[in-house]
Amino acid sequence: MPNASARLKHGRRTRRRRREDPARNELVSSSLESAQQCLFNQDYGTAFVHYLLVLNLAPMFKDFARESFRFTLFKWTEELDSVGRIQDLFDCYEQALELFPADEVILNSMGEHLFRMGFRDEAAGHFHKALKLRPDYPEARENFYRVANWLVERWHFLMLNDHGRNRKYQQAIQKAVQSGCNTVLDIGTGTGILGMCAKKAGAAEVYACELSKTMYELACEVVTANGMDGSIKILHMKSLEMEVPKDIPHRVSLVVTETVDAGLFGEGIIESLIHAWHHLLLPPQRGENEFQEPSATGRVIPAGATVFGMALESLEIRRHHRLCVSEVGSLSIAAAGELRSPVSCSPEPDDSMEPYTTERLSRLPGGYKPLTEPFTALNIDFNNVQELEGLSSREVQQIRLPVTQEGELDALAVWFQLHLDEESSLSTGPQEDTCWEQAIYPVHSTNGFVLKPQDELLVEVSCRDAFLRLCSVAVLRDGHEIRLDKRLDLQDSGNPIPNPNPNTEAELCSALACLQTDQNPTKDFCMLECSEMALLNNNDYHQSFCSALAKLFSQLKVKCQNKERGSGVQSGPTDSADSSDLLYVLDVSEGFSLLSLIAASNGHVKAYSSVEKTKQQEVLKRLARSNNVPEQHLEFWLNHTEDEQGMLKRPSREKLWSAIMLDCVETCGLIRQKLMEKASLKCSITLVYFALCLLEDGGQIFPAKIVVHGMLVESDTLLLESAVQGQEPTLGFNIAPFINQFTVPVHVFLDFSTLECRHLSDSVELFVLDLMDSTANYTNREVTVQATSAGRLTAIPFWYHIYLDQEISVSTLSQNSHWKQAAVVLQQPLEVRARDRVHLAVKLHKSAISISAHIQNTPGQMEQ
């Protein structure tokens, strides 16, 4: 072993040299001492510099000093963060990683900073690296799961699992290449699949571009794994930035792309194709090029599309986009003014607005009722650049649709047929069994107007900012035109609410008059997220808070009176305005919440709201006024304090909070992050514990308890959304192992009520979070569930029963809930038989739930 002895000698030499350098040794030991002293004095910046010096001069101390170095780094960078010295912060991490390039804790922590600063791709890279270094590192795993959804959206799995779609694209590409289109560009390549199809079909040159860094890197890995790295050139860029000959040597004869979303144009296919026709594609096979070879002309797959629309009624859509109630809890909300969801095709486009949202109509809770037949909204030829360019300037098209069923107009739904070539097409329609959702254009202002079969609905179709826009503008009934697109402000105009279902001509005229006396159509409105709108419409939720708060307040008053009686103090009259009688309530819900106002409307309560947006604060103030809540009894907490820690501290110290309301469950179906974990790095306790410390004697946190429920199910749908399924290669390519690295075990935003699945057990209690007991140990729980029928256990959907107090609870699974559900998808499906006892290990780490399952066979069962 000649090399070993050489290494030994070399090692000995360097060691001897080090030991022989007394000045250096002196510097190292005094710096190490200073570092420790500074650390003790909490002078982290200086400690960090000393450690850097020590470890650079004497790397042998690395193992010894690793823990203290990490601690110093985290403390110092926290300080830098708090004063906004972001560049310095990242410099420190760079220096730390030079010393410890494979330290998963430092990598993970740097990832967290990057994520907070909005560098998601870079953050993900750090989490991924940390996880590769230590696969059982829970912090890095959770962080990675959190970013994986952003980096590789879940629909990639659905699309790759949609064999029909894959095959049709492959056949169309193969036909085009074999007919002579031998230079190909795949725009928005994703995993590289369409580019690889072109190569496999025999294309001489294949280029691909992808704007997402993660997807680009994934495509490179996949293409290499399939032995095509030399033959497909992948570019990390948006197609609009590509140039000939800088990025590709010459124009191509075929562009393949699937850069379409549920509303067809949302991924920018119109601009991409206009740009491609001008800069990247050979001239089209038309006019003087009609008899040219396919290799000398350009074409696009898909060749074009037909867009369909349909009007529908759906309570589920309605409650997410319009206010459907006039009372919330004990409050009248008539004075709220116009509240809107951010999904609107309004004539004044606004960056905060989306023209449509998406739903899979076949899975819409409560279903939907079609009010018209499907109609053709648009036909577009992707091989005609003039047509693409003319789209934005095209006149607004008006379509008259006969109403086929009676119902309230809640939305226009849109889907399309993608014509891959003359013979083959894909449909994203609601009846098809595909991976596609439909685009939903919600209707905001019908005020209960009911469409009837003899009516005609007037719909406008236009294309502005390269988005397809659909708007139902009027109803034609008995020769009258009733406008639907004007905003109403019935409070201000003083008009009565129009009869929602006018039958006689007189009623119709009065409805018309009401609808048309809108004096102020551009009056401003307050925007609420769809989930906030659904929450406002959820009367059960507010009623539960109303009752629980009233109960608490009366208990506290009795207690207070008893105390006063005991101490001989004369209690004042109950309606005294003395502020010392006031109970203090804090609502720390995120987003728009009426809970503070509900509390304040109890009288003798001063409530603090966490609503941040000025317009939303104005709505609350308006509602306070109209519900006779004194102005000084409603305050906006975040107007007073900037820092997160101060959030729960009361302004006047002598009194403690009587109630603190936390919204513990996020709309997506997960426990709110930070609820059970440290409120911030500086603070070593949980938000709940913090809140508990601030309660007065007898005061309460709402909710007091959360019970997590779950169920064993067999659901192929969930599997299709979580990973590329099956052992078979996708179209003959090896893709699954690469994209499946981005599989996450917890699915969010589920509708359990419409999820296609087989129930394999009854619902079972998985976990209890007692928020009033800060000492409870939440980490692990073992639960045994008996299977009620045989099947393949693939997932465990879960939801919450939120107990405001002992008796009053709300369920996140209820029909009018603004919450969705989540599910743990098992890594390996488990075959279960009826009556098998399935053993679940449920873990709650920070706020994240994980579940593993195995079958616990009793000896008796084994014999069966």
Per-residue buried b or exposed e for 157-183, using 16+ beta carbons within 10 Å of the residue's own CB = bbbbbbeebbebbbbbbbbbbeeebbb
Contact call for residue 354 and ligand 44T (CB under 6 A): no
Distance CA 552, CA 558 (A): 10
* Span near ligand 44T by CB under 6 A; candidates 16-24, 204-212, 319-327, 580-588: 204-212
| Piece of the chain touching ligand 44T by CB under 6 A; list 207-215, 393-401, 663-671, 775-783 | 207-215
Shortest distance, CB of residue 193 to ligand 44T, whole angstroms? 10
Please answer whether residues 68 and 102 qualify as being in contact, where contact means their C-beta atoms are separated by less than 8 angstroms: no
Selected binder of ligand 44T within 39, 54, 58, 211 (CB under 6 A): 211
Which listed residue (34, 161, 212, 297) binds ligand 44T by CB under 6 A? 212
DSSP E strands in 100-146: the ranges are none
Tokens 């140990």, residue located? 777
- Verify binding: residue 730, ligand 44T, rule CB under 6 A: no
Report the amino acid identity of residue 275. H
- For residue 217, state whether it binds ligand 44T (rule: CB under 6 A): no
**If we measure between CA atoms, which residue out of 778, 773, 819, 769 comes closest to residue 799?**
819
Phi–psi pair at 727, nearest 5 degrees: -90, -20
Q: Minimum distance from CB of 532 to ligand 44T (Å)?
A: 22
Q: Which of residues 24-43 bind ligand 44T (CB under 6 A)?
A: none
- Which residue in 683, 755, 774, 751 sits closest to 716, CA to CA? 755
Distances from the Cα of 170 to the Cαs of 167, 195, 200, 222, 733, in angstroms? 5, 10, 10, 17, 12
- Tokens standing for 845? 């780490």
Binding ligand 44T (rule: CB under 6 A), the pick from 38, 160, 193, 209 is 209
Q: Which of 24-32, 57-65, 155-163, 278-286 is the region at the interface with ligand 44T (rule: CB under 6 A)?
A: 155-163
238 touches ligand 44T by CB under 6 A: yes
Q: Does the protein bind ligand 44T through residue 258 (CB under 6 A)?
A: yes
Cβ neighbours of 29 (radius 10 Å)? 13
The β-bridge partners of 233 are 207
Choices 234-242, 699-707, 744-752, 760-768; region in contact with ligand 44T by CB under 6 A:
234-242
* Helix 120-133 with 138-151: angle, nearest 10 deg: 140
Token pair 């890095």: residue? 140
Out of 103, 186, 205, 210, name the contact with ligand 44T by CB under 6 A. Answer: 210
Cα–Cα distance for residue pair 298/221, rounded to 1 Å:
29
**Residue 127 sits in the site that holds ligand 44T (CB under 6 A):** no
Q: Please identify, using beta-carbon distances, which residue of 144 and 415 lies nearer to ligand 44T.
A: 415
* Residues sharing a CB contact under 8 Å with residue 113, sequence separation 6 or more, in sequence order: 77, 81, 89, 90, 93
Q: Is residue 221 a contact residue for ligand 44T (CB under 6 A)?
A: no
Binding segment toward ligand 44T, per CB under 6 A, in 173-181, 260-268, 376-384, 489-497: 260-268
Angstrom distances, CA of residue 288 to CA of 253, 390, 525:
16, 22, 55
Cβ nearer to ligand 44T, comparing 85 with 238 = 238
User: Distance (Å, rounded) from C-alpha 747 to C-alpha 154?
Assistant: 10
**What is the nearest approach in angstroms of ligand 44T to the Cβ of residue 433?**
13
The conformation of residue 698, written as its DSSP 8-state character, comes to E
- Contact between 239 and ligand 44T (CB under 6 A)? yes
Quick one: 285 exposed, middle or buried, by C-beta within 10 A (0-12, 13-18, 19+)?
middle
Least gap, CB of 268 to ligand 44T (angstroms):
5
Answer yes or no: are the C-beta atoms of 45 and 89 closer than 8 Å.
no
192 lines the binding site for ligand 44T (CB under 6 A) = no
- State the alpha helices, DSSP H only, in 665-735: 687-693, 716-722
**Residue 139 contacts ligand 44T per CB under 6 A:** no
Q: Interface residues for ligand 44T in 271-290 (CB under 6 A)?
A: 272
d(CA 706, CA 367): 30
Tokens at residue 463, please?
């294309």
- Among 261, 456, 581, 635, which residue interacts with ligand 44T (rule: CB under 6 A)? 261
* 644 bridge partner residues: none
Are 492 and 473 in contact, with CB atoms under 8 Å apart? no
Structure tokens at 830: 């488990």
3-state SS, residue 377: strand
Q: Which residues pair with 313 in a beta bridge?
A: 369
159 near ligand 44T, rule: CB under 6 A: yes
In whole angstroms, the minimum distance from the beta carbon of 380 to ligand 44T comes to: 17
Nearer to ligand 44T, 192 or 703 (CB): 192
Contact between 374 and 308 (Cβ < 8 Å): yes
Quote the least distance from Cβ 739 to ligand 44T, whole Å. Answer: 11
Which residue is closest to ligand 44T by CB? 188
Angstrom distances, CA of residue 242 to CA of 185, 279, 385 = 11, 8, 18
Structure-block tokens of residue 608: 């603090």
Q: Least CB distance from residue 258 to ligand 44T, whole Å?
A: 6
Q: Give the interface segment with ligand 44T, choosing from 254-262, 287-295, 365-373, 486-494 (CB under 6 A).
A: 254-262
The 3-state DSSP class for residue 430 equals coil
Instruction: Answer whether 530's CB lies under 8 Å from 321's CB.
Output: yes
Please identify, among the stretches 114-122, 209-217, 503-511, 649-657, the one whose residues bind ligand 44T according to the rule CB under 6 A.
209-217
Binding mask 409-438 for ligand 44T (x = CB under 6 A): --------------------------xxx-
Q: How many helices (H) and strands (E) does the chain have?
A: 25, 40
Say whether residue 190 binds ligand 44T (CB under 6 A). Answer: yes
Q: C-beta of 7: minimal distance to ligand 44T in Å?
A: 48
Site for ligand 44T in 67-86 (CB under 6 A): none
Task: Assign 3-state DSSP to the chain and report helix, strand, coil percentages, each to 5.
Answer: 35, 25, 35
Report, in Å, the least distance between residue 275 CB and ligand 44T.
Answer: 8
Q: Is 158 in the site for ligand 44T (CB under 6 A)?
A: yes
Q: Does 751 bind ligand 44T (CB under 6 A)?
A: no
Contact by Cβ (8 Å): 272, 240: yes
The residue (of 355 and 699) whose beta carbon lies closer to ligand 44T is: 355
Which CB, 273 or 760, lies closer to ligand 44T? 273
Q: Is 631 helix (H, G, I), strand (E, B) or coil?
A: helix
Min. distance of Cβ 157 from ligand 44T in angstroms? 9
Rounded to a whole number of angstroms, the minimum distance from the CB of residue 239 to ligand 44T is 4
For ligand 44T, the closer CB: 280 or 746:
280
Does 215 engage in binding with ligand 44T (CB under 6 A)?
Answer: yes
Check residue 626 for interaction with ligand 44T (CB under 6 A): no
Q: Is the Cβ of residue 213 or residue 792 nearer to ligand 44T in the bound state?
A: 213
Is 205 an interacting residue with respect to ligand 44T (CB under 6 A)? Answer: no
Torsion sign across C-alpha atoms 198, 200, 206, 208: positive
| Least gap, CB of 247 to ligand 44T (angstroms) | 12
Q: CA-CA distance, 416 to 269, in Å (whole number)?
A: 14
Span interacting with ligand 44T, options 265-273, 390-398, 732-740, 828-836, rule CB under 6 A? 265-273
**Residue 185 C-beta: closest distance to ligand 44T, Å:** 10
Q: Does residue 121 belong to the site contacting ligand 44T (CB under 6 A)?
A: no
Does residue 187 interact with ligand 44T by CB under 6 A?
A: yes
**Helix, strand, or coil (residue 364):** coil
**DSSP character for 288?**
G
Total residues contacting ligand 44T by CB under 6 A comes to: 24
For ligand 44T, the binding residues (CB under 6 A) are 155, 158-159, 187-188, 190, 209-212, 215, 238-240, 258-259, 261-262, 267-268, 272, 435-437
